[in-house]
Amino acid sequence: MTIVVTGAAGFIGFHLCGALLRQGHHVVGLDSLNDYYDVSLKTARLSILETNTNFTFAKVNIADMDALTAALQPYKFKQMFHLAAQAGVRYSLENPSAYIQSNLVGHANILEICRHHDGFMHLIYASSSSVYGGNQKIPFAEDDPVDRPVSLYAATKKADELMSHTYGHLYDLAQTGVRFFTVYGPWGRPDMAYWMFTRNLLEGRPIRIFNNGDMRRDFTFIDDVIEGLLTILEKGPVRHDKGANPHRVYNMGNNRPEELLHMVEVLEKATRRTAVQKLEPMQPGDVKETFADLTAIQADYGFQPKVSIEEGLPKFVQWYRQFADL
Ligand SMILES: NC(=O)c1ccc[n+]([C@@H]2O[C@H](COP(=O)([O-])OP(=O)(O)OC[C@H]3O[C@@H](n4cnc5c(N)ncnc54)[C@H](O)[C@@H]3O)[C@@H](O)[C@H]2O)c1
């Protein structure tokens, strides 16, 4: 079976493509290979995927509808994972147009492609826990109000969910949106705190701790995420009522928020270094806490994350040492 994955050279896309290839699928990966972070990390991921002859890659910007249409024209597919996006909360204050192009125009183009593709059955796309903004009610549940985003990144992810809802309603396009909660692991993203802390610890540099450490994050290990996505592919889309809108949104987190300072302790132990901490105020656009209610995804897909940060972060550190040759 041919499955399309956008954002294939990205962190989650790379792991997902690998898992799909191991299941014997033909994977068509798309990515613009943009330089938001070191492109050599993206090409290193791709060179691993390209050792499998069932993997086909096209460098394409999903905001360019003509290029996107041409890249997918040779293939017949029924399912697509749409993970390409401009990620990162803080960068959305610096370069808003990257978010408008990739996340809004790009998502709309993907919806149009899927709507018009003969025999298409299921679009699984990435949303984000950031849509919950500064919500006080925890844990965050899918039917909580999310119309007060605190960053443009969050606003674009919520807008994607709204566009998807409309395509479900108007065109019966089956879709599953997944709100990821701080996904981490080997081959991760250099803009994320756990990566920067590890690098700085190993290089003997101070680490910047925002909001004086008063932050909690629901950290989700990449293997748990990939298992969850494969289950959604296999069992989905779940339709509760005949004739109901076939678009659903789920949290995918760990249901276990960790104190930021505890995360630092786990990294100190894994690196065998002591952090020099620079305590700083809260960053604009950031949120104090994320905490996923997993009731819906457990009921529909039996999603049960297994990996704690005590197990997952040392795996990242071990990978990072090899990757950075430290
Ligand atoms: N990693 C997390 O903790 C997390 C949390 C919440 C949501 N998400 C979402 O999950 C998805 C995957 O995230 P990730 O962590 O793998 O990020 P990533 O940045 O590693 O991967 C995204 C990939 O998309 C590509 N891309 C960006 N704009 C593009 C465009 N216009 N056309 C084609 N390709 C484009 C990038 O080059 C990159 O390789 C994203 O949608 C992200 O917003 C991730």
Average confidence (pLDDT) over 305-319: 98
**Mean per-residue pLDDT of the chain:** 97
Average confidence (pLDDT) over 277-299: 94
37 is known as an active-site residue: no
Whether residue 197 is contained in a domain is answered as: no
Q: What is the pLDDT of residue 240?
A: 81
Domain that holds residue 171: 2-184+220-255+291-306
pLDDT at 265 over 80: yes
Given 36, 91, 153, 167, which residue is catalytic?
A: 153
Q: What is the pLDDT of residue 180?
A: 98
Query: Cα separation of 325 and 203, whole Å?
Result: 12
Q: Establish whether residue 188 lines the binding site of ligand 1, counting it when its CB lies within 6 angstroms of any ligand atom.
A: no
Q: What is the pLDDT of residue 243?
A: 84
| Confidence category of residue 35, pLDDT binned at 50, 70, 90 | very high
Whether residue 284 is contained in a domain is answered as: no
Whether residue 34 is contained in a domain is answered as: yes
Whether residue 317 is contained in a domain is answered as: no
pLDDT at 2 over 90: yes
Query: Cα separation of 262 and 310, whole Å?
Result: 10
Q: C-alpha distances in angstroms, 318 versus 16, 38, 187, 227, 292?
A: 21, 20, 11, 22, 27
How many whole angstroms from its chain centre is CA 130?
A: 11
pLDDT at 325 over 90: no
Task: Give the distance (Å) from ligand 1 centre to CA of residue 303.
Answer: 22
> Could you tell me how many residues make up the chain?
326
CB of 10 closer than 8 Å to CB of 86: no
Whether residue 209 is contained in a domain is answered as: no
Q: Read off the pLDDT of residues 147-205 as tens digits, 9 standing for 90 and up.
A: 999 999 999 999 999 999 999 999 999 999 999 999 999 999 999 999 999 999 999 99
Half-sphere exposure of 226 (CA within 13 A, CB side): 21
Q: Read off the pLDDT of residues 244-260 as tens digits, 9 standing for 90 and up.
A: 999 999 999 999 999 99
Q: Whose alpha carbon is nearest atom 37 of ligand 1? A: 33
203 Cβ contact partners less than 8 Å away, ≥ 6 residues apart = none
Task: Give the distance (Å) from ligand 1 centre to CA of residue 62.
Answer: 12
Whether residue 163 is contained in a domain is answered as: yes
Query: Cα separation of 134 and 149, whole Å?
Result: 8
CB crowding 164-175: b at 16 or more within 10 Å, else e: bbebbeeeebbb
- The single residue listed with the structure tokens 């009731």 is 295
| CATH code for the domain in which residue 118 is found | 3.40.50.720
User: What is the domain count for the chain?
Assistant: 1
pLDDT at 326 over 80: no
Whether residue 281 is contained in a domain is answered as: no
145 prior amide bond cis, ω within 30:
no
Half-sphere exposure of 198 (CA within 13 A, CB side): 28
Q: Read off the pLDDT of residues 161-177 as tens digits, 9 standing for 90 and up.
A: 999 999 999 999 999 99
Q: What is the pLDDT of residue 232?
A: 98
pLDDT at 242 over 90: no
Structure tokens at 253: 């987190």
Average confidence (pLDDT) over 52-68: 98
Whether residue 32 is contained in a domain is answered as: yes
Q: Establish whether residue 110 lines the binding site of ligand 1, counting it when its CB lies within 6 angstroms of any ligand atom.
A: no
Task: Give the distance (Å) from ligand 1 centre to CA of residue 85.
Answer: 4
Average confidence (pLDDT) over 225-238: 97
Q: Which atom of ligand 1 is nearest to the CA of 182?
A: 3
Question: Is the whole-model pTM more than 0.95?
Answer: yes
